[in-house]
Structure 1
Amino acid sequence: MHKVFVGDKPIILTTVVEQETNFKNYLLNTVNLRKVIKELNTTSIKEVRLIHKNKDKLLKKFLKKMPNVVAGGGKVYNENRDILFIYRNDKWDLPKGKAERRETIEETAIREVTEETGVNGLEIVKPIETTYHIFKRNGRHRIKVTYWFEMKTSFKGNLYAQEEEGITKVEWLNKEQTEEALQNSYANIKLLI
C-alpha cells in the first residue's frame, strides 16, 4: 500500500476493495485523477482508494497518470539529536528540493538541505521513506516523488533561511518542539517523524 497526498488527504493505492464509508473506491486503470483531486479538495471525503489487482504494479501505474517531479530531502540530526526544520508557507517542513541533471538523488538531498538551511558537513546515515504528493504548478497537476535520507552533522554555525524559496525560519527542534511543530506540518512530514 502507498499513500499519495493531496493536501493532507491521502489517495491510497491498494489491492483491497472495502465497503465505502468516509472514502471512495476507484479502479486505478480507469480513474480520472483530476476528478479525484477536485473531490478531495472540495468535499468532506476523507480519502480515495485506487484499486489494482497487482500490488507490484500499483505505484508504477499510478505514477504514469501525470508528470512526476523528483526531489531529495533530509531528516537531519545534530549532535544533540535535534531535528533540522524549515518554516515555509506557514507550515513546518523538512528541507528538500528538485533534482538537477546528472545529480544523484543523494547529491540532491545534501545540496538542497545546505541551500535551504546553511548547514554544512552533512553525512547520509541511511535512506528513509519515499513520499508522494500532488501539487499544482502553472495550472497543471504533478506528482512530487521525494526521496528522503536520514542525515547527521556536527555543524555549529549560523542557520540561514533561503528566503527566495519562501523559507522564513530554520531551526533545530528538540523532541518536544518537534511534536509541537508537527501540529502545523504536512501529512508526509508526520510520516517521516
Structure 2
Amino acid sequence: MYKVFVNEKPIIITSSRKDAIFSVFLFKEIHFDEIINKLENTDIKGIILYSNNLESDWKSFLTHLKMIPAAGGLVLNSKKDILFIYRNGVWDLPKGWIEKNESIENAAIREVEEECGITNIKIIKPLITTYHIYFHKGAKLKKTHWFLMTSDFNGVLKPQTEEGITQASFKNSFETEKALQNTYQNIKLVYDTYKES
C-alpha cells in the first residue's frame, strides 16, 4: 500500500480489498488530474485507488509528478522527549531536502541540526517514508525518509528563523499528544510508526 497526501487528504493506492473508508476507484480507470482536482476542490475526505499490480501502478502514478527527495528525524533526548519545530502555525518534525550527492542519512542529520541548532545526533534506525503532493510550478511529490534519532544535547535549541521556524523544543508525552492535534497527517504516521516499533 502507498499513501500520498494532497492537502492532508490521502490517496491510498492498494491491492487490498478490505473495507473502504473512502470512495474506491480502479487505478487503471482513473485520470491523474481528475483525482487531484477532486481532492483539491471538493469536500471528499480521501480516495482509494484499487490496483491489480501495485508496484507497476505506483511507478505509473509517479510519472505524473516531479519527485523531491527529503529526509528528517524523530529525535529523542535522554528522557525520551520528542523534538518538535513550530512553523507556519503548525507543529512539525525537522526535515528538509536532500542535497546533490548527499546521503539520505547525512541529509537527515544535517536538516535536524540546521532547523533546531542541535548537535550530537545519532541515527538509531529508519522509521518510514512518507509522501505528499504540493503545488509549485506544477505538481511535486515530496518523498521524505524518516529516521529515529537520539541526542544528548543539553544546550539551548535555536530555531532556524530564516526557514520560518519560530520554536524548537523537546516535548514530553503529554505535550506531544497536544502537538499532534495541530500537525500534518504525515507527522502522525511517523509518530505512529515510532510508537509501534
Match for residue 53 of structure 2?
A: 54
Q: What does 1:124-143 correspond to in 2, within 5 Å?
A: 124-138=123-137, 140-143=138-141
Query: Deviations for 1:43-89, whole angstroms, at most 9, x for unmatched residues?
Result: 12121112221133343332222111000000000011000000111
Q: Write the distance in 2 (CA, Å) between the matches of 1:156 and 1:18.
A: 47
Q: Write the distance in 1 (CA, Å) between the matches of 2:96 and 2:29.
A: 31
Match for residue 4 of structure 1?
A: 4
Q: Which runs of 5+ in 2 are unaligned?
A: 192-197
Q: What does 1:7-156 correspond to in 2, within 5 Å?
A: 7-16=7-16, 23-138=22-137, 140-156=138-154
Alignment CA distance shift 1:30-1:108 (3 Å): farther
TM-score, normalised relative to structure 1: 0.92
Instruction: Give the ranges of 4+ consecutive aligned residues of structure 1 lying more than 6 Å apart after TM superposition.
Output: none
- Deviation, 1:17, is 5.5
- Deviation, 1:93, is 0.4
Q: Write the distance in 1 (CA, Å) between the matches of 2:134 and 2:176.
A: 25
Q: Write the distance in 2 (CA, Å) between the matches of 1:43 and 1:6.
A: 12
Match for residue 189 of structure 1?
A: 187
Kept in 2: contact 1:28–1:62 (CA 8 A)? no
Cα root mean square deviation, aligned: 1.7
The structure that is helix-richer by fraction is 2
Q: Write the distance in 2 (CA, Å) between the matches of 1:102 and 1:114.
A: 19
Q: Write the distance in 2 (CA, Å) between the matches of 1:136 and 1:159.
A: 31
Q: Write the distance in 1 (CA, Å) between the matches of 2:179 and 2:190.
A: 13
Q: Report the residue type matching 1:10 in the other structure.
A: P
Helix, strand or coil for the counterpart of 1:123? strand
Helix, strand or coil for the counterpart of 1:159? coil
Identity of aligned residues (%): 46
Q: Write the distance in 1 (CA, Å) between the matches of 2:170 and 2:93.
A: 11
Among candidates 173, 176, 190, match of residue 175 of structure 1: 173
Q: Write the distance in 1 (CA, Å) between the matches of 2:177 and 2:49.
A: 31
Q: Report the residue type matching 2:180 in the other structure.
A: L
Helix, strand or coil for the counterpart of 2:55? coil
Which range moved further: 46-55 or 155-164?
A: 46-55
